[in-house]
Structure 1
Amino acid sequence: MSYPRALMIQDKKLDPQLLLEIRRRLVRMHYESGVGHTGGNLSAIDALSLLFKEYVGDEDHFVLSKGHSAGALYVALWSAGKLPEEALATFHKEDTLLAGHPPARGIQDIMFATGSLGHGLSLAAGTALALRLNKAPGRVFCMTSDGEWQEGSTWEALIFASHQQLSNLTVLVDHNQLQGFGNTTQVASMAPLWERLRGFNIELDVISGHDLDLMRNALDKRPGRPHFIILETTKGKGVSFMEDRMEWHYLPLNEDHYKKAIEELTKP
């Protein structure tokens, strides 16, 4: 089984009202599947939706390094017309392609199975170098979590990307400051992360990951060297009882949670 691209064509530009619809669809998908990781999906969905609706073209590639936000990736692909509605209904079910982490095959817009944190940036950097060596057009986009910057392999990939001056590589960091066992500062502090990155030969922006115009301004840049965009986000964004709560890294939604979340996601 596989899902081809462009099953639906939705050319509408992303706006706050459409983003609310996307958030509701994400929450419903997680509720119906009984799967957690909702908080980190809600922190990433704004940027992922913007990428796939306005930036990732047929010649471009995307790697989701924070694989536990696969739900947000699937819903972003759905919003861009690259996954059908019926596919979302199979999320985390038997024989699905929409597993809890991105699959290795079957969905054209997903290049790699990811989720063992710290591997995605290496895959993205290697892809960017391959495009350059083959004189192929296109950009490579990668989203990492902030917690995986505690992984040595992520820093090795940064060294590689900086040394190779991969100008076709754009890296977004979902900086929600919460990970599986607590606050990133408490677990293994590198705060502020962007100060650690400034020593490398990269372009660096630190912006809100929930402001569409700021993200557009950053993504429109073509700086001629690797571009890293730190997205300051809120875990559980848009749902009051989830926001900045570490437990929503894991918890599934019960019926009461779901009803309250949908009610809150009705108005911008």
Structure 2
Amino acid sequence: MLEKLSDLDSRWMYLALVIVLVIPIIKPIGMSISVNKDLTQRMYDFIEGLPSGSLIMFDLASSASSDTEITPMIYAVMEHMAKKGHKLLVAGQWSSGLTFWSPLIDERAKEYGWVYGVDYVNIGFKAGGTATWRAIGQDFWKGAMEVDINGTPFRELPLMSKVRKLDAETIDLIVIYESGSPGMETWITYFPTVPLCKGSVAAEISSSVRYIPTGQLKGLIPGMRGAAEYEKLVDRPGIATQLMDAQSLSHILVVLLIALGNVVYFGSKKRSAHGR
């Protein structure tokens, strides 16, 4: 038996790895995962505590290269918003973020039966950086050129009748999905009274967690694992759960193969010693 295992073609091991990676992608297993109480749970609790009909603004400060981490975060938070009956305002400090995620948000909004202009609005990318956002803070309509991403006047969108300033009385929460700069510093510096949460790619987590104890961030989704945690909280496993399942199973397989390799090695060594 040990001789057969020692002569096992390595391609069988690669095949086993492919299988354990593919199975969770086809059907999520939902392996046990603990929720980070200091980051993910805080964000969930804050949104959960908002009264129904609250207005949440997404800032898509990222690009398509962060799709694997950011997209499941957006979907999980939208799922939470749909269950709570919150309204959505989509914006973005990065034009590339709006270009990539706007169609995905529209697709998910249709699933929830959201009516554009009533339940959610996408104002599009507004050039000008910080100066533009400060102008929007004073007079939302004027600063945003009074049109949405499609060129539709704000006056034709019922939801926008309530959005005249970018302040805590108008926006109940800003959720920024960030993978670089410009990012959350815009909100922390110029809009400190508006509650802020963040969906962060793994590379940005360490620079973000320091804002949690100060209250400048109400919560944080930390990378792919955080997205899987949020999917667990809203009880809708998605791509993050699938990828975390695949990662966990691959780790288990590697450990088993290492253990098996050691058994074969020491068994063969023992047999060789007896053969002498």
Question: Shorter-chain-normalised TM-score: which range?
Answer: 0.3 to 0.5
The structure whose residues are more often helix, as a share, is 2
Question: Which structure is higher in RCO with an 8 Å CA cutoff and minimum separation 6?
Answer: 2
Indicate the structure (1 or 2) with the bigger Cα radius of gyration: 2
TM-score (norm 2): 0.37
